Structure 1
Amino acid sequence: MSTSDRREHCRTAMSARVKVIHEELGEHVFPTRDISDGGIFIALEGASFAPDLGDSVVVQVQGLPVPAPILNMVVVRKTDEGYGLQFALDTE
């Protein structure tokens, strides 16, 4: 890990499909690259999806035998390969 890596949580490689819903950009399904206690990284794989940093999205893992929880997340990082999404803190 480089000294410029400021991540608080350790990442674990994880391949899953997640549905991402953005209020303006609609609904998309993306593969994940990794997960941590703080969030996930979604890989775009050429898909047209360009949220702004700070945008809220709703995420749900797909393909499980039972419906997965629906999670509120925030776009916190953008790379050429995809986006880092952080679990939103519930304020209720």
Structure 2
Amino acid sequence: MDNKRDHVRTTLKVQLRIDHPVHGRMLVTTRDISDSGVFVVIDDAQNLLQIGEVVSGQVQGLPIEAPVVQMEVVRFEPSGVALAFMRD
């Protein structure tokens, strides 16, 4: 299979707080990140999230408060979910 990604993925393992309008706050771990989005490890993600939903996220554990970003659920895999960064 050809990899036709527009943005290079970088392995990154950090804690990410996701705020969901129905399920509330979830603390998850990222697997990788690119300029367009992030993949997060979530057990049973398809029962918690739907394609097209918008959630907010904030990296946790930094020495300063990270910005809160809006992300859209775009893809599921057995190990988690891909979230695309929403641009203003």
TM-score, structure 2 normalization: 0.91
> What pairs up with 1:1-92 in 2 under 5 angstroms?
2-3=1-2, 5-44=3-42, 46=43, 50-90=48-88
Q: Distance in 2 between matches of 1:57 and 1:85?
A: 9
The separation in 2 between residues aligned to 1:8 and 1:50, in whole angstroms, is 28
Q: RMSD of the alignment, in Å?
A: 1.4
Q: CA deviation at 1:47?
A: 6.0
**How far apart are residue 7 of structure 1 and its match?**
2.3
Moved over 6 A (4+): none
Distance 1:74 1:35, change over 3 A: same
Name the % identity: 37
Task: Select the structure that is richer in helix.
Answer: 2
Aligned residue pairs: how many? 87
CA contact (8 A) 2:8 2:34 kept: yes
Report the residue type matching 1:84 in the other structure. Answer: A
CA distance in 2, matches of 1:16, 1:61: 7
